[in-house]
Amino acid sequence: MKKQYVLSALIFLAGMQLMAQPRKNIIRQMKWGLESTITLTMANDSVYAIQVDDVFQTDLNASSPADETVYFPANLTYEYVEKCKNTAIDKDDERSLVNIYQAVHSVTGGSYAHFLNLLLYALQTYQLDLRSPEMLRPVTKWKPSPVTESYLRTRRWKYYVPVEYKNAKREYEYRKKHDKMAELDGIPMAYIRRSNRINDKKYAKLSALGYNDMIAEIDLVRLMLGANFLGKEQIRYIRDCVLRAVNEYKIYEL
């Protein structure tokens, strides 16, 4: 049996009508749908359609015992997949290639949480490879004059994002020190801690053992650490990988 790949959604459900339901009425299925909606099917077969923008995002380490932190597997609806399949990409329109969120959003829609889940899904299904030729930085001895901050931060990177452990950890520590953590908003701290803990040797071992979900979580962090340094070709490559992953979604449901 092929392993079923799922998207992951980390959502905070406090204050919603669902909390008034008896605790035994658990959520049986969760799906991302059109127009930024999440459809929840309960154990008693009742169905709720919720706007993802109305759901509070939260950290895994919710401190209050009254808070409800739920980590769900989420599938894609047939309608959503079909919409993405029918989305035309204007190769000459570079307005969407300003950053990866705008590029992916232009073909998939959805909120920022949806964007992160689709990136993770593309990584899980091997459609998106951060070590692909498209992500390689050119080998050059060129150095800006005067030397810039971005040059100093990225000069050791082999790829446009810090896929190597030392580079990723150095970039994370720089961002944390200078309060430049915006690109990591919405990513669970568990993923970030794993990226900061798993060195290249352990990463290779996990990959060889087939822990692709864990590898994808690490790669998601490292992709977003380098998001500001991507060029248009890399952004186009990532967008196309995400769209291809969504278009081939049914393959991974088997």
CB 219 within 8 A of CB 227: no
User: How confident is the prediction for the chain on average, in pLDDT?
Assistant: 79
pLDDT confidence bin for 77, thresholds 50/70/90? confident
Closest CA to 249 of 18, 103, 77, 58: 77
Q: What is the pTM of this model?
A: 0.74
pLDDT confidence bin for 88, thresholds 50/70/90? low
pLDDT confidence bin for 109, thresholds 50/70/90? confident
Q: Could you please report the per-residue DSSP string of 215-241?
A: HHHHHHHHHHHTGGG--HHHHHHHHHH
Closest CA to 90 of 240, 228, 230: 240
Rounded Cα–Cα distance for residues 150 and 172 (Å): 14
What are the Cα distances from residue 39, in Å, to 7, 75, 183, 221?
Answer: 14, 10, 27, 27
The lowest-confidence range among 53-67, 149-163, 224-238 is 53-67
* Residues near 103 by beta carbon (within 8 Å), at least 6 away in sequence: 96, 97, 235, 236, 238, 239
Q: pLDDT at residue 171 above 50?
A: yes
Share of the chain above pLDDT 70, in %: 68
Give the residue with greater pLDDT, 54 vs 83: 83
Give the residue with greater pLDDT, 50 vs 254: 50
Q: What is the pLDDT of residue 89?
A: 67
CB 32 within 8 A of CB 84: no
pLDDT confidence bin for 92, thresholds 50/70/90? low
Reported as a single tens digit per residue, the pLDDT across 10-68 is: 443 333 444 444 445 566 676 666 555 667 777 776 776 666 554 544 444 444 333 33
Q: pLDDT at residue 2 above 60?
A: no
Give the residue with greater pLDDT, 86 vs 98: 98
Q: What is the pLDDT of residue 9?
A: 45
Q: Alpha helix locations (H) across 43-158?
A: 78-85, 100-108, 112-124, 149-154
Which two structure tokens, joined as six digits, stand for 156?
């050791």
Residue 197 half-sphere exposure, CB side, CA atoms within 13 Å? 10
CB 114 within 8 A of CB 47: no
For 70, the 3-state DSSP assignment is strand
What are the Cα distances from residue 23, in Å, to 18, 50, 135?
Answer: 10, 19, 47
Q: What is the pLDDT of residue 178?
A: 96
Q: What is the pLDDT of residue 24?
A: 53
Task: For residue 7, list its beta bridge partners.
Answer: 74
Q: H or E stretch including 39?
A: strand 37-42
Q: pLDDT at residue 248 above 60?
A: yes
pLDDT confidence bin for 253, thresholds 50/70/90? low
Reported as a single tens digit per residue, the pLDDT across 193-228 is: 999 999 999 999 999 999 999 999 999 999 999 999
The pLDDT of 102-127, averaged and rounded, is 89
